[in-house]
Structure 1
C-alpha cells in the first residue's frame, strides 16, 4: 500500500535524523570503563532479619561476595548487562533471582531466601533452585518473563503486550495487526486479567476497547518492570475473574543508594523517568510519557491521528523489617482525531467512513500493605480504578448538522477494590486464604443509529452500582527434596446484581495440580480447574428504551479447564516442555440480534457488550504447546514455541463453528546474542495460520439506511466464519548499541519489523460511492452503488529507540 511505503520512508528518515543528532552527544566525550557495581541485601523471608555469611554469586559467572552482619553485599567490576544472582547458605534453600540490568547507575537488589523446611541428611543432594521460577501453585501453563526478554524483544518495541504475544498459545488479531489484543489458548480478548504489584488494573493499553481489552500501544513503562508472571491456566486463587490468562506484573524497587534519571525516545513516544529514594526508608519510581505518533501519521497522510500520554509512579516505605506500605498510580490520556485528507485513497476513505472520534481517560490508584508476623504474611490491597470513554461519529464526518449524528457515546466505569490475603508457611506446606470486596459503578449515555432488519435508534441512559465479594483458600505441599508438589484450592465469587449471581455456590471454583520429578530434571505435571468471570459492565448495564436492564438473567461466564504436560528443566538454563490443554466454556455471551458470539466483536476500537445478550453460548478450545528456552551463556539465549489448537463455539442448532481467533497454528522462534563492544543483536520469526472471517452481505451493505448508520460494510452472519484468510509470517530484527561515559550512559536500538516485507491480505470490504442507484424507490429500499476494496497490510517498518540515563 502507498501509505505503508510512506510510513516506511518517513520512519527511516526520522531514524537517520535522530541517530545523526544523537551522535553529537558522545562524539566529544570519551567512553568510560564499562564496569559497575551491584549492591544488595539478603533477608530471611520469614522473620525478615538480615542474613549474614550468605554466598552471593553471579549466576553462571565467577564473581561473588559474602553478605555482612546486616545482610548487605557488594560485587564490583561488573560489565553492563543482564544478570541474575544465586544465593547459597547452609540451612536455606538455594535462591536464583529474577533477571536485572546493570547499567551506569549500578543496581540494587533485595533477595529474600527461605529456610529449609527440615535439614536434609548429609547424603542427600541439596535441590537446586529453578531459574525458570515455576511455582507449586502453577506447575504448568505459567511463564516468568525477565527484563532482557522485555527490553530487547525484536518487533515488540518494549511493549509488554507484544512481548507476551511471543509466548506459547498466544495469538494475534489478524496476525500482523497493530492491536495488542491477547488471544490465549483459543480464548477471547476479554478473558484476561492484569495485576500490577498485586493490584488489579483494568487495562494495559491505550485506546482500550471497553468491555474487552487490547489497543494499539502499551500504557506501562517497561523501564519499571522487574518481572512478569504469565498464566495461561492454573490461575492463582487470589487473582480471580480470568478464563484465558492472568498477567502479574511486578515492578522494581526504587534505588535506595542513588537517584537516577532516564530520557527515552521509543517507536511512538518520548518519556522521562526517575528512580531513587526520598529517605532512608522510602524509595520511588516515577515516569511521564507522551506520544508523537499523531505527528508522524499526519505527515504521511493516515486518516486517524492517535495521541496519548501516561504517568506512572510507585512509592514504597519500609517502616521496619515487618511493615511495608506501597502506593502505585497509573493513568492514561487518549485522544484520537480524524484526518480527512485522504488524497483519494480508498482504504483511507473506508476507515474515515466508520471510525469515530475517541477520547478516553483511565487511571488506577492503589495501596498495598504487607505485615510479616511469625510464619505468616498479611497482604492488604485497596485500589480505585476509573475509565471514561467517549466516542462520537457524524455521517460523512460532517458536524454542520445534528441530523448527521450517528453515534454519541459516553460511559464511565469505576471500581473500588479491597482484598485481604494471609499466607502461612508450615513445614512443607504453604496455605493462602483471604477474601475480597469490590464496589463497581457504571454509567452510560448512548445515542446510536444501527441497522438490523430496518433502521433502529438506540437511545438510553444507565446507572448501575452493585457489590461484589469473594472468598478463597489454597494449600500446597512441596517435598523436602523438591521432587513432588501438590496443590489444591477453591474460590467462590458472588455479587448483588441478581439473585442467581448472589449465591456464591453458583460460582464455586475448585482447582488442583500436581508435579513430579520422575527422572533427573524431568517433570510430569497436571492441573484441573473450574473458573468464573463476571460479564462486562457494558452488558450488565445495558437498558432498553423503557429503562429496563435487558440482561438481568445473565450468569457468570464459566470454564472447565484441564492440562497435562511434560518438561525438562535444567538448573543451567535449559528448558523444553510440551503441554496438552482442553477448555470447555459455558454461560458464554451470545448476541440475540446477530446470533453470533459477542466476543467476536471485541477486536476493534470503541466498546462491546452493550446489546441484548443470552448466556447460552458454549465454546471449546483444545491443543498442544511445545516450548524451548536455552540461556546458553550470558551472551546467547534462544527461545521457541509451537502451538497447534482449535477454538470453536456451538451454534443454536448444535453444530460447531470456528471462533474468530481460530488460527490453528502458531510458531515463534527468537534469539539474541551479545557481541563485543556492547553490541547486541536479536531476531524473531513469527508464523500464524489464517484467521476465519465472514463473507460480506453485499445487499445489506448497499442499503442507504444501513450504510449511513454505520459507515462500513456488513457481513453475512448466516455464513459466520466460513472462510479463512491466508497464513501470515514475519521476521523482525533488532540491534542494540550501548555507550558508557563517566556521568551518563547512552543506549540506541534499531528495530526493523517485517524485514522480508511479507504482505498480509485481509478480507475485502465494501465502500459506498455515495451514488444512489435507485433514487426513485422508497428510502427503505434505496441502495448505494458500492465498490469492493482489497485491504493489504505489511511493509518494512524500521524504528529507533534512544535512552539516556544519568
Structure 2
C-alpha cells in the first residue's frame, strides 16, 4: 500500500513540476523540386502562429522565438505552388527543415494561397488519408502504435477480443494489406505475426522514427502491387544534420532508445532499439500467453550532391512467446490447450537510390526480407515424450526485390513508369496432426524457389485551374510457380481515378480498379502427400473495386466526406477441409494457408463511409467516422452469399485531442463496432478423443458457418499528456487508459474437454471425452503510464 502512495505522489509531483518558458528557433532551406537550386524571397510561416521569415539568397531561413510544440510550416512564393510541410517537433534539437517547391505558371499574380492539411492527389482522390506526427504521438488508446491509430479512420475495424493489431479494412481479411517504409516493402508491421496473414499484439515500427503515414483503403498507386484491401506507406524522419541527440521512451510494453544526428557533412542517421516487458504486463493481467520481443531500426541517408542521394534502412525483430502455466481457471486451461509456443526472427534491409534530373526523377529500390517462424505444440503441454507432439513447424520466407521507376513532370502531366523483379525462397519442415474424418499426419519438407515479375505505368493530369484531375494506371504481374501464373495478361490490373471541383472546396471523386494478389507461400508450398505441391492449380486472387466520394472543405481546417465502395472478389483460396475462404482466417496466432485449397470462392464487400475531421493548429485534432457495410462470400458461383468473418455491419469512432496551456493535452476516443458473426461448435466431432487430442480445442460446425452473431461492443479511451521543455532537454509523461468503462463483450460459450473418457472400453477411434461449456467474456481496463526523455 505504501508503494502505491509513493508512486501516486511521484506522478503528481511530475505533473505539477513547473517548466521554464522556453522558446526555440526553426532553421531550414527552400529549394526548387526540379532543379534542386535554392529559392530566395520565399515566405515561410509557422501554421497557427503569427511568425515567419523569408529565405535569403542561398534559400535559408530562420524563424526565432517559437514556443515548443508540434508544427507545420507553410511556404509560398510568386510562381510556385504553396507547400504545407509534414509536422515537426520544435524543441532544443529542432531538425533542419528542407522544403521542396514546384513551379506553378498560374500564380503569376500576387495572390495569397493557404494550403490545406487535407491532401488530394490525382492518383488517389478517394480513399487516401495522411496521418501526421501529432496524431501518432497523442492518439488516445493507441499507445503510439500505428496499427491502432489507423483504426480511427473509416472502413477500419478493430478487434474487441484479445490483444491483436489485425488490420481489417473494408471487410477484407488481414492478409490483404501491404506495407512500405520509405519506398521499401516490408512483410509485416507487427511482432508475432501470423504467417500467411498479418497482425500481432504490438507494432514493429518505433513511432519515434515516423514522420507521416499515407493510408490507402482503396485506389492504390500502380507502383504498389499485391494489395487487395489497403496500403500503408510510412515516411521516416531524416536524421538531424545540425545536432546529435538521444531520446529514451518508457511505454506500456517496452523501453526504447532512439538516436539521430549526422556523420560528416553529407550523411545523417536515425537508429532505434526497443526491448519489451510485455510479458510482465500480460502476467499481471493473468493472460495465458507471455510475449517478449526486441526490435531495432535504422536509416542512413547520404546526399552526395543536390541531384543524387542514397538511403539505406533496416528493420528487424526477435520474438519469443511462452505459455503462462502459473495461472488457473477454465479460460486459461482452454487457451493453453491449443496455443503453441512461438519463436520468430524477422528483418528487412533495403536501399533507395534517387536521382533528380530536372523534370525526371529516377529511383532504384533494392531490398531483402527474411522471416524465420517456429511453432511447437505438445498435447497437454507435456514435452516428456515425442508421442505427445502435435505440431512442429519450422519455416523460412525470404524475398529479394529490385524495383526501378522513373517519374516525369511536365506542366499539367505526371508520368510514372517502372518494373520490378522478386526472387522468393520458402523453406518449411513441418509435422502436424489434423483430424477430418480421421487422424491425418502431415510430415513434409518444402523448398520452393520462385521468380516474380511486374511492370507498371500511370499518367496523371491536373487541369491548369486544378478544377479537374484524372489518373490512368495499369500494372501486370506474373511468376514461374505454374504455367497459368506466368501469363501476365491474366493479371492485367487497370485503374482509373477522376475528381472534379463542383464548387469552392467541394469535390466529387471516383475510382475504378482491378487488383491482384498472390496466395501466401504457406499455401503455394503445401504438400499433402509429402512429395508434390498440392495447390498448383491456385490462381491469383482478384478484386474489382469501385468507389465514389464527395468531400467538402468549408475552410482549410475542416473536412466532411462521404464515400461509397464496392469490392468484388474472385478466385479466392477456399479451404477444402473447412469449406470457408482462407481470407476468413488469420486473426489468431500461428499459421494459415498450409492446407489443401482451391480457387473457387467468390466474395463481395460494399458499404458507405462518412468522416468529419477538424484540425485547428496547436489546439484541436478531432475526427469522427461511421462505416456501414456488409462483407460476404460464397464457395461457388451458383450458391448464396454467407457472412464473412469480418462482417461487423457498422463501425463508429470519434476521437479528439485538445491542447491546453503550459504543454498539457487531453484526448478521448469512443469506439463502437457491430457484433461479428460466429460459427457454432460441432459437438459430436469435438468430443472424439482423437479429434480433440489433434488440435486441443473444439471443432466448428462449418455447415452452420457464421449463422450466429455476437452483440455489439463499445469502449472509451482517455489520454492525458504533459511535456516539459528546458534549454537542453525535453521530458514528457502521459497516462493512457484503454477501456476506462471496463466494458465487457459477451462471447460464445467455449466447448471444452473435461479430460475424462466417457466410453473407455470402446475402440480408440470411437472413444469420446465428456465435454463441458465455459462462459467467456473479454474487456479489460488497461492503464498505461509512459515517460519520454530527449537530450
Give the shorter-chain TM-score range: over 0.9
Q: Which residue of 1 aligns with 2:573?
A: 589
1:17/1:413 Cα in 2 relative to 1: closer, same or farther (>3 Å)? farther
Q: CA deviation at 1:122?
A: 4.2
1:515 alignment partner, one of 487, 499, 511:
499
State whether structure 2 residue 689 is matched by structure 1 residue 704.
yes
Q: Report the counterpart of residue 44 of structure 1 in structure 2.
A: 32
CA distance in 1 between partners of 2:15 and 2:24 (Å): 19
Partner of 2:781: 796
> Is 1:106 aligned with 2:91?
no
Task: Describe the SS at the equivalent of 2:117.
Answer: coil
1:249 CA drift (Å): 0.4
Q: 1:218 aligns with which of 194, 203, 206?
A: 203
Deviations 1:551-575 (A, max 9, x none): 1111111011110010012552110
**Separation in 2, partners of 1:667, 1:104:** 39
CA distance in 2 between partners of 1:314 and 1:527 (Å): 35
Check conservation: 1:176, 1:728, Cα contact below 8 A: no
Residue 149 of structure 1 aligns to a residue in which SS? Answer: helix
Look up the match of 2:153.
167
For 1:192, the equivalent position in structure 2 comes to: 177
* 1:101-250 mapped onto 2 (5 Å cutoff): 101-116=89-104, 118-120=105-107, 122=109, 128-173=114-159, 175-250=160-235
Residue 384 and residue 151 in structure 1: after superposition, are their counterparts in 2 closer, same or farther (change >3 A)?
same
Match of 1:5 in 2: none
How big is the shift at 1:130? 3.1
State the shift of 1:543 in Å.
1.0
Instruction: Give 1:91-102 correspondences, 5 Å limit.
Output: 91-102=79-90
1:590–1:614 contact (8 Å) kept in structure 2: yes
Distance 2:451 2:345 in 1: 24
Alpha carbons 2:74, 2:85 under 8 Å: kept: yes
Contact 1:418 1:437 survives alignment (8 Å): yes
Shift in alpha-carbon separation, 1:709–1:394, aligned structure 2, 3 A: same
TM-score relative to the length of structure 1? 0.96
Q: 1:255 to 1:787 in 2, by over 3 A?
A: same
1:351-394 Cα shifts (integer Å, max 9, x gaps): 11001010001000000000011210001100000000000000
Q: Which moved more, 1:569-578 or 1:787-796?
A: 569-578
> Deviation at 1:295?
2.3
Are 2:470 and 1:486 aligned? yes
Match of 2:281? 296
1:4 alignment counterpart: none
Alignment of structure 1 residues 104-503 onto 2, 5 Å: 104-116=92-104, 118-120=105-107, 122=109, 128-173=114-159, 175-343=160-328, 345-503=329-487
Deviations 1:78-115 (A, max 9, x none): 11212111101001001111222223322322211101
Alpha-carbon distance between aligned partners in 1 of 2:416 and 2:540, rounded to the nearest angstrom: 24
Contact 2:445 2:530 in 1 (8 A): no
Alignment equivalent of 1:725, drawn from 707, 710, 726: 710
Residue 72 of structure 2, aligned match among 72, 79, 84: 84
CA distance in 2, matches of 1:67, 1:618: 58
Q: Is the 8 A contact 2:47 2:617 kept in 1?
A: no
Following superposition, the deviation at residue 330 of structure 1 comes to 0.2
Q: Is the 8 A contact 1:127 1:482 kept in 2?
A: no
Question: CA 1:22–1:259 in 2, change beyond 3 Å: closer, same or farther?
Answer: farther
Aligned residue for 2:417, secondary structure, equals strand
Deviation at 1:251, TM superposition (A): 0.3
Indicate how the Cα distance of structure 1 residues 30 and 683 shifts in structure 2: closer, same or farther if over 3 A, else same: closer
Cα distance in 1 for residues equivalent to 2:555 and 2:458: 28
Bigger shift: residues 775-784 or 94-103: 94-103
Counterpart position of 1:682: 667
CA distance in 2 between counterparts of 1:486 and 1:167 reads 25
**Contact residue 395 and residue 426 of structure 2 kept, 8 A:** yes
Q: Give the distance between the partners of 1:355 and 1:169, measured in 2 at CA.
A: 30
**Alignment partner of 2:96: what SS?**
strand
Deviations 1:562-613 (A, max 9, x none): 1001001255211000000000010111001111111222111011001111
Q: 1:754 to 1:23 in 2, by over 3 A?
A: closer
Contact kept? 1:631, 1:638, Cα under 8 Å: yes
State the TM-score, normalized to the length of structure 2.
0.98
How far apart in 1 are the matches of 2:281 and 2:46? 44
Contact 1:129 1:571 in 2 (8 A): no
Distance 1:367 1:20 in 2: 49
Question: Take 1:185 and 1:624, find their aligned partners in 2: how far apart are those partners?
Answer: 10
Give me the whole-angstrom Cα distance separating, in 2, the residues matched to 1:766 and 1:401. Answer: 27
**1:82 alignment partner, SS class:** strand
Q: Which residue of 1 aligns with 2:624?
A: 640
Contact 2:302/2:310, CA 8 A, preserved across alignment: yes
> Does the 8 A contact of 2:80 with 2:107 survive in 1?
no
- In structure 1, the residue matched to 2:526 is 542
Aligned length: 790
The whole-number CA distance in structure 2 between the counterparts of 1:488 and 1:13 is: 64
- Secondary structure at the residue paired with 1:349? helix
Q: Distance in 1 between matches of 2:692 and 2:449?
A: 36
| Mapped contact 2:15–2:722 kept (Cα < 8 A) | no
Say which is worse superposed, 69-78 or 398-407, in terms of deviation: 69-78
Q: Deviations over 1:664-701 (max 9, x none)?
A: 00010011111112110000000100001001111111
Structure 1 stretch displaced more, 139-148 or 546-555: 546-555
Q: What's 2:639 paired with?
A: 654
Judged with a 3 Å threshold, the aligned counterparts in structure 2 of structure 1 residues 385 and 93 are, in CA distance, closer, same or farther, namely same
When residues 624 and 30 of structure 1 are mapped into structure 2, their CA distance, relative to the original with a 3 A threshold, is closer
Q: Which has the higher mean CA deviation after the structures are superposed, 43-52 or 98-107?
A: 98-107
| Mapping of residues 517-536 of structure 1, within 5 Å | 517-536=501-520
- Shift in Å at residue 33 of structure 1? 2.6
**What are the Cα deviations for residues 251-297 of structure 1, in whole angstroms up to 9, with x where unaligned?**
01111110111010111000101011111111111010010111233
Partner Cα separation in structure 1 for residue 184 and residue 377 of structure 2: 35
Contact 2:650–2:674 (CA under 8 A) maintained in structure 1: yes
Secondary structure of residue in 2 paired with 1:138:
coil
Describe the shift of the 1:547–1:227 C-alpha distance in structure 2 as closer, same or farther (beyond 3 A).
same
- Offset at residue 51 of structure 1 (A): 1.2
CA distance in 2, matches of 1:140, 1:795: 36
